[in-house]
Structure 1
Amino acid sequence: MLRGKMVDEGTHDQRLLARQGPADWVHMDPWRVMRIQSEFVEGFGQLAELPRAVTVFGSARTPGDSPDYAMGRELGTALARSGYAVITGGGPGVMEAANRGATEVEGGVSVGLGIELPFEQRMNDYVELGIEFRYFFVRKTMFVKYSCGFIALPGGFGTLDELFEALTLVQTGKVTSFPVVLMGSEFWGGLLEWIKASLLGTGKIAPQDLDLITVTDDVDEAVRVIMEADRARSVATWDEEQAVEAQVAEPQ
């Protein structure tokens, strides 16, 4: 963790993607691969034994006395009571609220996956297992690999980035039975109307792609969507295992 004058003005992502400068940068990239590899190893090692988990996204700028903060805290509590670990980006605002809600349940698991930024942002006080990443793409892999669903509360560019990346992964079949829930119908309503009019209306997406998104204001419904998809995934996995066992047992 770096604070004050110790915070670097640039980030590792900027340096990784930069093409300007002397040629010695070219020879440094293979060593960056080792650092990237170490981040994957660290993340996999720390998160491998997590229980079933749900990632909650939302604005870091949400004040503690706002309805969105209260909803995030209630959501974190509801997820923890249903047996899910709560994963956030580890920052303040809605992320803090969800982590806080999880810690208020006995046995609740609160996880924060932070990211290096060119300005100071510390891990919130309700994170019990926290990992700081240098590279966004490594962090995103951890969100998807260790979550069985995403829930997005009102947020900014970062929330939209994670939201549409998750939808793309589900739409293209890179992940299966992965629910995406948007909480806050008033906030998300305009976006959904634009998706219907500008994307579906011009053939940019298929009608069934809209089924990938659930919009609700009800915490219980959000958790129910996650749990139903979780059960469906478990049934599908069991069916696949039975099919494999039957094929192995079939006389040759």
Structure 2
Amino acid sequence: MQEPDREIESIEEFDQVVARGTLAGFRVQSVDLTSRTAALLSTDTSEAVFLGCPMESEAAAKVRAGSALVFPPVPDLPFDPYRGTLYSPAQLFEGLTEHGYARTPDALAYAWFQRTKTDGDIFASMLRSIHDDAISDALDEFLAGTRVVGVMGGHALERGSDGFAGAARLGRALARTGLTVATGGGPGAMEAANLGAYAAPHEDAMLDEALELLGRTPSFRPSIGAWAEAAFAVCERWPDGGASVGIPTWFYGHEPPSAFASHIAKYFANATREDGLLARSTAGVVFLPGAAGTVQEIFDNATPNYYESRGEPTPMVLVDRDHWMRRLPTWPLLEALAEGRSMKARIALVDSVDEAPEALLSLLG
């Protein structure tokens, strides 16, 4: 059986493994090996798998002859389907200042997706699937051993609004409890929660100043570039922010990813992204006011909680009583589902974001 730690995702890891004497059975993901021909020729590579690793033809012939599998890099793609790590904001927005958003890797990947998503080409759909599986693997590796709290909410929430500031305070408070904040990785409430987690190591005044600066560019419309540059300006002024995760999708590629999420798991398949975000929120989910998408996420999360038989459903905290009781009366149905179930003790409705962290910790016990 393949051991979970037999993955090589950097040239440094490759050199360390070679120094121990064998590459047999290892999986090498997207590592440029063109300068490691001698090592490949002299090291046992039996049953190894090389995923998107450039190498000299002599080395490629040798490892293939030695029962290794070689999946070559795919030319002319705006993304790496075999990548071994999550994205950073700098990687997705590379070239933003010099060339504009339309020529960033994020925008180019979205444009490729738009061209190929309905053309029926099995090669394109296979590449999307390989990419998304690699991202899931990288996300699991990054989150191993952490307690993750999801924050869900509307994408339309603008910078400069009270709701945006509240979501940012929520993200900061949750991060300061030691939880890893994970969001859908886009604008609105998602960006605000990632901003709050970024602000967690800084003095409280930093978040107030950052919110004021961001409020001058309230939305990614009409300019994604200006919106993103405002976020990067905050990160440059206050470096070394706290870590958090954003899990966006190119399915909604017109919505750019948040620059405040230190680690970004961006998917092509929205269903994979939605399920993965909720499933990895092992310490619970806080639901801020939202519309159809947020309501869907509430019941996507409630379903496994409803059927949980061991008494360990994940906590769910809904924020804004008026919203969830009157405007979109989701809470009464959720409460009715919970009646007589173990999830009854793991759901809460609070009036404001400032009450949510304490409510979540109380549900966690």
Report the TM-score, using the length of structure 1 for normalisation.
0.71
Aligned mates of 2:335, 2:141 — CA distance in 1: 40
- Where structure 1 has 5 or more consecutive residues not aligned to the other structure, the ranges are 16-20, 232-252
Higher relative contact order (CA 8 A, sep 6+): 1
2:326 is aligned to: 190
Q: Which letter does structure 1 place at the counterpart of 2:339? A: P
Counterpart of 2:244 in structure 1 is 110
The aligned amino acid for 1:151 is V
Match of 1:158 among 280, 293, 296: 293
Q: TM-score, normalised by structure 2?
A: 0.51
- Which residue is equivalent to 2:307? 172
- Return the alpha-carbon distance in structure 2 between the equivalents of residues 30 and 130 of structure 1: 21
Instruction: Report which of the two structures shows the higher radius of gyration computed on alpha carbons.
Output: 2
Q: CA RMSD in A?
A: 3.4
Check the 8 A contact 1:7/1:120 in 2, yes or no.
no
SS at structure 1 position matched to 2:159: coil
Name the structure 1 match of 2:350.
216
Q: Give the alignment of 1:138-153 within 5 angstroms.
A: 138-139=272-273, 140-153=275-288
Deviations 1:33-89 (A, max 9, x none): 65553333232123225x322110111111112221121011011111211121111
Matches within 5 A, 1:113-124: 113-124=247-258
How is 1:4-153 mapped onto 2 (pairs within 5 angstroms)?
7-8=111-112, 10=114, 25=122, 34-49=130-145, 51-106=146-201, 108-139=242-273, 140-153=275-288
The answer to whether the 8 A contact 1:78-1:219 is kept is: no
CA distance in 2, matches of 1:138, 1:36: 8
CA distance in 1, matches of 2:333, 2:298: 19
User: How many pairs align?
Assistant: 218
3-state SS, counterpart of residue 178 of structure 1: coil
Q: Residue deviations 1:230-250, cap 9 Å, x none?
A: 33xxxxxxxxxxxxxxxxxxx
Give ranges in structure 2 of 5+ residues lacking alignment: 1-104, 202-240
Cα deviations across residues 122-155 of structure 1 (Å, max 9, x unaligned)? 2112111111112233322243224310001111
Query: Given that residues 135 and 266 in structure 2 are in contact (C-alpha distance below 8 angstroms), is that contact kept between their aligned partners in structure 1?
Result: no
Segments of 4+ moved more than 4 angstroms: 27-36, 191-195, 197-200
Give the percent of matched residue pairs that are identical in Structure 1 and Structure 2: 27
